[in-house]
A and B are shown apart, each in its own frame.
Chain A
Amino acid sequence: SQQGEEDPQALSIQEGENATMNCSYKTSINNLQWYRQNSGRGLVHLILIRSNEREKHSGRLRVTLDTSKKSSSLLITASRAADTASYFCARGTDKLIFGTGTRLQVFP
């Protein structure tokens, strides 16, 4: 499959805990983007990490990229109930190829 794989497929945690989601891909990349999708709605752009970057932060989000392992991870620290959503990684430039997504449930 061209799609990347994300794991876990689903994750349930309590508020305040950290959530880590992983994304693997098969071909070389120029950059990798992470998105959040609340139930049945549009995708919200979170972070773009370039192939020459190893780590990037945005607020409570931390993204790492290991091009030698063809993998990336998204860490959400001190999670909140509002972080409940599906999270996708996507590679490509003009044509994005999405991973299968991780469904995160944060319980208050």
Chain B
Amino acid sequence: KAGVTQTPRYLIKTRGQQVTLSCSPISGHRSVSWYQQTPGQGLQFLFEYFSETQRNKGNFPGRFSGRQFSNSRSEMNVSTLELGDSALYLCASTSSSWNEQFFGPGTRLTVL
């Protein structure tokens, strides 16, 4: 079974721009979660989608948004980028049995 895939792997943007990241979960997994990892704040939960609906949301500003499609693929969008948005963005898909979350390789976003 293929793992979680994320595209792109690396991205460089400038302040004020917007960015869209993509995540394809493991086949059969219907829940997708997004996390931000920075050296200062560690791993922080952004949001979780299940069956195309946002089910949980972390404490991030409205500039961070996401969606999930009918095939469970998910995208997250960050608008009006700030320098502090530079981070590794990780996507995880969840097995329905015991809520094990399996992560993709991440997208490294650099905001200049």
Contacts and interface: CB of A to CB of B under 8 A. Distances in A.
Interface string A22-56: 00000000110101000011111100101000000
A35 B94 CA distance: 14
Interface residues of B, number: 28
A3 B59 CA distance: 14
Using C-beta atoms within 8 Å of the partner chain, give the interface range for chain A. 20 to 34
Interface of A: 3, 30-31, 33, 35, 40-45, 48, 50, 88, 90, 93-98, 100-101
B33 A96 contact: yes
B105 A42 contact: yes
A50 B31 contact: no
Contacts of B21: none
Contacts of B31: 94
Given A45-B103, A48-B99, 13 more contacts: A31-B98, A31-B99, A35-B103, A40-B108, A42-B4, A42-B105, A90-B101, A94-B33, A94-B99, A95-B48, A96-B92, A96-B101, A98-B44
